[in-house]
């Protein structure tokens, strides 16, 4: 029972949101759009939550604003642009790709590439060193090995 409860908590926890019933639009399709947009917009008070998740007063105001803009006929892009004009790119949880954010977007890939290249060269070099380190057997040693292999094993049936 308790295990099930815990599983249930973890299953449903990511779905927690701050939107209050009174804020929701009557039209389900429009409300769905509002929810989608709210998830893209950062709550600047809490900074790592979207306005859809946040209980901050500003987040509530912005949620209502998003719905008002949708009701007045704005497209999704128009709503987002309206908020970005006032709060800047930082309000977007997925920053746009532009000159200023190029390092942000490409940085991880570049670092991954450098790391992969490093490991590749390290392994290649290690292989070479190991190859050099193993000296082939001389004739005496080969003879000894042959001898040992030729001897019948007394434990064999």
Partner 1 sequence: MRSLAIIPLFAFLLLACLLGIYLWQLGSGEKNTFQLPSALINKPIPEFKLPPIKNMEAQTKGLRTSDLKGKVALVNIWASWCPPCQAEHPILMDLADEGVKIYGINYRDTPRDARIFLEMLGNPYTKIGADIQGRVAIEWGVYGYPETFVVDQTGRIRYRHVGPINPGQLNSVIRPILNKVSR
Question: Which residues from 4-43 bind partner 1, rule CB under 8 A?
Answer: none
The residues in 124-153 that bind partner 1, with binding defined as CB under 8 A, are: 125, 129
Sorted by sequence, the CB contacts under 8 Å of residue 58 that are 6+ apart come out as: 43, 44, 45, 51
Which string of x and - marks every residue 83-102 that binds partner 1 (by CB under 8 A)?
-xxxxxxx------------
What does the alpha-carbon distance between residue 65 and residue 53 come to, in Å, rounded to a whole number? 16
- Report how far residue 67's alpha carbon sits from residue 38's, in angstroms, rounded to the nearest whole number: 9
**Residue 66 near residue 41, CB atoms below 8 Å:** yes
Q: Report if residue 118 touches partner 1, rule: CB under 8 A.
A: yes
Residue 3 vs 133, nearer CB to partner 1:
133
Question: Does residue number 109 form part of the binding site for partner 1 (CB under 8 A)?
Answer: no
Rg (CA), the chain: 32
Q: Based on CB atoms, which residue is closest to partner 1, 8 or 110?
A: 110
> What is the contact surface with partner 1 in residues (CB under 8 A)?
44-45, 57-58, 61-62, 65, 84-90, 118, 121-122, 125, 129
């Amino acid at each position: 029972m308790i295990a099930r409860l815990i599983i249930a908590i973890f299953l449903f926890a990511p779905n927690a949101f701050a939107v209050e019933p009174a804020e929701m639009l009557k039209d389900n399709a429009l409300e769905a759009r509002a929810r989608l947009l709210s998830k893209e917009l950062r709550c600047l008070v809490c900074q790592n939550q979207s306005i859809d998740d946040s209980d901050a007063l500003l987040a509530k105001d912005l949620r209502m604003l998003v719905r008002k803009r949708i009701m007045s006929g704005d497209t999704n892009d128009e709503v987002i642009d309206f908020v970005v004009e006032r709060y800047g790119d930082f309000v977007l949880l997925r920053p746009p790709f532009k000159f200023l954010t190029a390092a942000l977007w490409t940085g991880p890939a570049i670092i991954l590439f450098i790391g992969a290249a490093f490991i590749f060269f390290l392994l290649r070099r290690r292989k070479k060193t190991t190859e050099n380190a193993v000296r082939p057997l001389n004739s005496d040693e080969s003879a000894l090995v042959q001898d040992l292999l030729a001897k019948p094993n007394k434990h064999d049936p």
